[in-house]
Amino acid sequence: MCGIVGLFLKDKALEPELGALLTDMLITMTDRGPDSAGIAIYSEDTNSKAKLTIQSDTPSVAFDGLGGALEQALGCTVEISCKDTHAVLSIAPEKLDQLRSTLKDTDPSIRVMSTGDVLEIYKEVGLPKNVAERFKVTQMSGTHGIGHTRMATESAVTTMGAHPFNTGADQCLVHNGSLSNHNSLRRKLTREGVHIETENDSEVAAAYLTWKMNNGASLGDALESALDDLDGFFTFVVGTKDGFGVVRDPIACKPAVMAETDQYVAFGSEYRALVNLPGIEDARVWEPEPATVYFWNH
């Protein structure tokens, strides 16, 4: 039993409030998963810098002088913005792959949380309220985002085991449920050259979607294929650079509710996650159908 939230903004006037709105939604879902929490924020695309969000258990040591060391190794400007145990590295897009490789050589203990042009992921062990406070999520603005509070069933309670999972540029996934064929699918994806960092079954689902899209599928097509290839119970919310998608397994035993107004589309594991959103009293509210793909984009 985990809690999922998602918010896709249609009204640009709400973008400064994205972090605050998502945080409130996620805190409401705390009792669905008290062991770890995370939020993915999609900011406005500037087309000038790519981002790498990283994490360290010893940030005061790992991040001290890191920007300068990376600049010297790469021969280009590397901006670094530290937020508690996380930091966001900004770099010219053509240098992003080289940055990842150099970072691994510089300090193998640093973990990559997310990569892309607009995506930042913040996640840690702890309650949603505490995690959001550590990273000042309520002060963040953006176009859309998703969040998750976890009750572990398939793997250990660790930072890397927390959701969301980022397995492709500007793509991430949160999951409520349990996959029964994740081990066999992991082996298949590994043979295809897909790197999976953790033992979490949800990361396998994220990697599966990335693999499908890297082979030419749209997100909608990848989610349709997931209904055939993934066994178990699941509700997925998937973030992409310009939107988010939702799908439930054919049995749909995991709760889900959605709301749409002229200002936003919102998702919650339960309706109480949505009650404080502006204009919710006039929203169209419905339960997503089983084995049906929903997607919104800018």
Cα separation, 42 vs 40, in Å, equals 7
Please give the C-alpha separations between residue 297 and each of 72, 73, 266, in angstroms, as whole numbers: 39, 38, 13
The three-class DSSP label of residue 47 is coil
Round to whole Å and give the CA distance between 245 and 240: 8
Q: Which of 2, 82, 172, 253 is catalytic?
A: 2
Token representation of residue 21:
């709105």
Q: What is the distance between the alpha carbons of residues 174 and 165, in angstroms, rounded to a whole number? A: 7
Q: Based on the number of CB atoms within 10 Å of its own CB, is 223 exposed (0-12), middle (13-18) or buried (19 or more)?
A: buried
Q: What are phi and psi of 90, to 5 degrees?
A: -115, 135
2 is catalytic: yes
| Separation between Cα atoms, residue 137 and residue 33, nearest integer Å | 19
Residue 74 — φ and ψ, nearest 5°? -95, -20
Q: Which residues on neighbouring strands pair with residue 146, listed in sequence order? A: 6, 40
Closest CA relative to residue 142, chosen from 118, 171, 122, 123 = 118
Residue 36 bridge partners (DSSP) = 125, 150
Indicate which residues carry an active-site annotation.
2
